[in-house]
Structure 1
Amino acid sequence: MNRPRTVRAANGLLERMEARPRKDGLVTYRYRPVGGKPINLGTDRLKAIKKVLDLLGAGDNIGMIGRLWEQYQETADWRNLAEGTRTDYTQCSEPLLKVFANVKANEIRATDVARYLRIERKEAPVRANREAALLSNLFNLAIERGEAEVNPCRQVRRNTEQPRTEAPKADALLAFLKWLARQTAQRKIIGLAAEYAAVAGSRKVEFLDIVRPQVDRASLVIRTKRAKQRGIKRGEIIEEVEITPKLLDLLDRIDAAHREQERECLYLFPNKHGNAYTAAGFKAMWGKLMNQALKEKVIAERFTFHDLRAYYATTHKAEHGTLPDLHANPAITARVYDRNKVVKRKAL
């Protein structure tokens, strides 16, 4: 059943709602229907909004988490998120809505959020933290709309996250890449992308859509936009990755892989249709290949694609004595990506 569309004004009220200050310091709310007289709604903002939604025939699921999720995807906050974050939140919404879709935001308490983190999602504690972050955003929206008074997610401690401590072993990574090189043409592309991540240290989001003009062989640099920049820095930090002999050899093999498929593609790591991989599509392909490699005993232990960035940082430090510039905050590079087990220092 299609319901009347409701629009929230800049002050958090619904469209055609008014807030009128009174001499006693209170604020009275009223609604101006099209072609009708103003309707008094009282001084309680939350109840006033509910009354308007009821008048519009849109109040039966007001403040429900499922409805807030739909509304959140129409906000400027959602549009300002990076594409990868929007994809991640969409995935997070599935288990979250199974529990909270038909529950009103103002009925959820901190104990409910804690139960979700510790019991409902105890098998995936790290993922549960991401889902709680999405839930917190939905509560913020509910508060702006007058559909909740507090955000209980802020009162609950997140599950403890243990950072990964191992980078892929060089021999295991080499065995995996050689195995992929013997696979189909498309699987070779995945292997070349993995090798690029290990050699250049870039995030997936920074190079999955990389195109040939970004590879400047004359200046021996590859230019990409650094991801995860906030505010005015978003998309403005350009990384220039030096093309070393090892990276140059990889670029030559990428060109050879394209010739093998008899196509001149704009993207360095195209999918089978010649387009850039989506984050979800690449993730699915990577998981499939990793499972098969484990089954065929090509490798003994699973590693994530993100671990390849740690492999780069760890190897860079071992070979050059310093960590590379991977993050706006060097402390995060050291904490997340440095997986060296031996620390060298000089005695007096």
Structure 2
Amino acid sequence: MTHVRVKGFKIFKDRHGRMRCYHRATGHKIDLTEAPLGSAEFLAQCETIRAIAVAQKEKGPRAGTLGGLIKGYFETGHFANLAEATRRDYRKCADFLAPIRDTPVHVIDTPLIAGIHDKAAKKIGWRRANMVRTLLSEVFRHAIPQGLIAANYAKDVIPKRRPRDRAYANRPWSIEERDIVLSRAKPHVRVALALMMNTGLDPSDALKLRKDQIDGDTIWGVRGKTGEEVAIPVSPTLQAALDSIPVHEAATVLASSQGGPWTYNGFSTVWHRFKTGLEEEGLIAPGLTLKGLRHTVATTLREAGLDERRIADLLGQKTPSMARHYSRSANLADKNRETMATLEKENARRAKIVKPSAEKRQTRSE
């Protein structure tokens, strides 16, 4: 039997001895039972698939256009190293810009980007509009050294401000809300919330925290969103919560009621159901979020008089060198130990103020 070869197509025999064929570029398969190899039907399908592939390629972003610049940025190592959520958001922004992707590079300027920014704010909201601006700024920043564009035309576009009548997206929790939530939560949920509210860790980072990242009285890790190092001392309150973790075999510190690692979506679903129940009982006000616990730590420390730099160090907001020495991280942990002690004292002080007030209200009601 003569072996048939067709440029651009993979023709092979599978493990069951049956002949298979697919187009390498698109992955489109040809059913060889309906279009036998080498037949007129087979060759016709090959030509149809080629035509489709060419049409798809022509629809793609062209060089020298806005779409071409965005496509080039998505192929950079910088984009590949971003957090998964950030990459997903940037691709959504690119989808919004798709109708104007054929805009020639030579007509792009700051007024044009400002107009795009304004239109985005009306169609997809101020926050997404600012993300579109950020994406374009990154695209232009990486295209300049390659000589693909003259300047970063998004840099001088003023970001949209949050509307004054818009609620705080991740408002800080009150001491009362914290105590109520912890007292009503099931053990595997309670310890997760305690970890977040006593470290300032982002929820996704807290859920992924491994047991081997806790060395003695310090949590060592890297913030998933930015890759920044964190060295967080374990406070007495947090240690008590960690000691109460139900026994499980997962590699992560936290685990679900089934004993396996939490997924972010899984914990979010459990948290939403639990929170909604407390809201319906009137025990907490609407607006509590997991990310709000990170804001709570920052707000508490700021009100206690700590400067923003120290708070940023605890939350992992400083951009470190990838070659940071372990000793430097150790020094950071020592400084953060003082910061964590302040958080512990401030929470205790607020709790003492709240408790007598609650008792007085109870006495009056009686």
TM over 0.5: yes
Task: Write the distance in 1 (CA, Å) between the matches of 2:91 and 2:230.
Answer: 32
Task: Write the distance in 1 (CA, Å) between the matches of 2:111 and 2:267.
Answer: 37
The structure-2 alpha-carbon separation of the partners of 1:306 and 1:190, relative to structure 1 and needing over 3 Å to count, comes to same
Greater alpha carbon shift after TM alignment, 97-106 vs 168-177: 97-106
Residue identity matched to 1:310: H
Partner of 1:208 in structure 2? 207
The structure-2 alpha-carbon separation of the partners of 1:157 and 1:211, relative to structure 1 and needing over 3 Å to count, comes to same
Shift of 1:138: 2.2
Shift of 1:250: 0.7
The structure-2 alpha-carbon separation of the partners of 1:137 and 1:193, relative to structure 1 and needing over 3 Å to count, comes to same
Partner of 1:305 in structure 2? 290
Secondary structure of residue in 2 paired with 1:308: helix
Shift of 1:118: 3.0
Secondary structure of residue in 2 paired with 1:326: helix
Task: Write the distance in 2 (CA, Å) between the matches of 1:124 and 1:194.
Answer: 30
Task: Write the distance in 2 (CA, Å) between the matches of 1:167 and 1:98.
Answer: 32
Greater alpha carbon shift after TM alignment, 151-160 vs 204-213: 204-213
Partner of 2:243 in structure 1? 252
Q: C-alpha root-mean-square deviation of aligned residues, in Å?
A: 4.4
Task: Write the distance in 1 (CA, Å) between the matches of 2:263 and 2:190.
Answer: 14
Q: Indicate yes or no: 2:160 matched with 1:175.
A: no
Residue identity matched to 2:288: F
TM-score calculated relative to the size of structure 2: 0.55
Give deviations 1:159-213, integer Å, cap 9, x for gaps: 12589595211112222333432xxxxxx54443222111223333543321223
Partner of 1:274 in structure 2? 260
Q: Is 1:313–1:323's contact at 8 Å kept on the other side of the alignment?
A: no
Give deviations 1:288-332, integer Å, cap 9, x for gaps: 6555654554422203323212323444567x76469331499x8
* Percent of matched pairs sharing the same residue: 19
Q: Indicate yes or no: 2:250 matched with 1:265.
A: yes
Residue identity matched to 1:270: A
Greater alpha carbon shift after TM alignment, 207-216 vs 128-137: 207-216
Q: Greater CA radius of gyration, 1 or 2? A: 2
Q: Is 1:226–1:238's contact at 8 Å kept on the other side of the alignment?
A: yes
Shift of 1:91: 2.0
Task: Write the distance in 2 (CA, Å) between the matches of 1:312 and 1:251.
Answer: 18
Gaps of 5+ in 1: 5-56, 182-187, 343-348
Residue identity matched to 2:182: L
Give deviations 1:102-150, integer Å, cap 9, x for gaps: 5235254434432343343246313321231112222334445554444
Residue identity matched to 1:139: F
Partner of 1:36 in structure 2? none
Partner of 1:118 in structure 2? 118
User: How do 1:1-348 residues align onto structure 2 when only pairs under 5 Å count?
Assistant: 61-63=61-63, 64-66=65-67, 68-81=69-82, 83=83, 86-100=84-98, 102-104=100-102, 106=105, 107-122=107-122, 124-144=125-145, 146-161=147-162, 167-181=172-186, 189-216=188-215, 219=216, 221-227=217-223, 237-244=229-236, 246-254=237-245, 256=246, 259=247, 263-270=248-255, 274-275=260-261, 277-278=263-264, 286=271, 290=275, 293-294=278-279, 297-316=282-301, 322=306, 325-328=310-313
The structure-2 alpha-carbon separation of the partners of 1:159 and 1:196, relative to structure 1 and needing over 3 Å to count, comes to same
Task: Write the distance in 1 (CA, Å) between the matches of 2:289 and 2:97.
Answer: 29
Task: Write the distance in 2 (CA, Å) between the matches of 1:311 and 1:285.
Answer: 21
Shift of 1:158: 1.1
Secondary structure of residue in 2 paired with 1:153: coil
Task: Write the distance in 1 (CA, Å) between the matches of 2:210 and 2:224.
Answer: 20
Give deviations 1:198-253, integer Å, cap 9, x for gaps: 1223333543321223334xx4x1322253898xxx65x45141331x21221122
Partner of 1:15 in structure 2? none
The structure-2 alpha-carbon separation of the partners of 1:150 and 1:292, relative to structure 1 and needing over 3 Å to count, comes to farther
The structure-2 alpha-carbon separation of the partners of 1:214 and 1:61, relative to structure 1 and needing over 3 Å to count, comes to closer
Q: Is 1:207–1:224's contact at 8 Å kept on the other side of the alignment?
A: no
Residue identity matched to 1:140: R
Partner of 1:9 in structure 2? none
Greater alpha carbon shift after TM alignment, 202-211 vs 150-159: 202-211
The structure-2 alpha-carbon separation of the partners of 1:61 and 1:88, relative to structure 1 and needing over 3 Å to count, comes to closer
Task: Write the distance in 1 (CA, Å) between the matches of 2:291 and 2:99.
Answer: 32
Q: Is 1:121–1:128's contact at 8 Å kept on the other side of the alignment?
A: yes
Partner of 2:334 in structure 1? none
Task: Write the distance in 1 (CA, Å) between the matches of 2:116 and 2:278.
Answer: 34
Q: If each structure's helix is expressed as a fraction of its own residues, which one has the higher value?
A: 2
The structure-2 alpha-carbon separation of the partners of 1:118 and 1:323, relative to structure 1 and needing over 3 Å to count, comes to same
The structure-2 alpha-carbon separation of the partners of 1:304 and 1:250, relative to structure 1 and needing over 3 Å to count, comes to same
Residue identity matched to 1:252: D
Residue identity matched to 1:222: T
Task: Write the distance in 2 (CA, Å) between the matches of 1:127 and 1:134.
Answer: 10
Task: Write the distance in 2 (CA, Å) between the matches of 1:138 and 1:226.
Answer: 26
Task: Write the distance in 1 (CA, Å) between the matches of 2:91 and 2:177.
Answer: 35
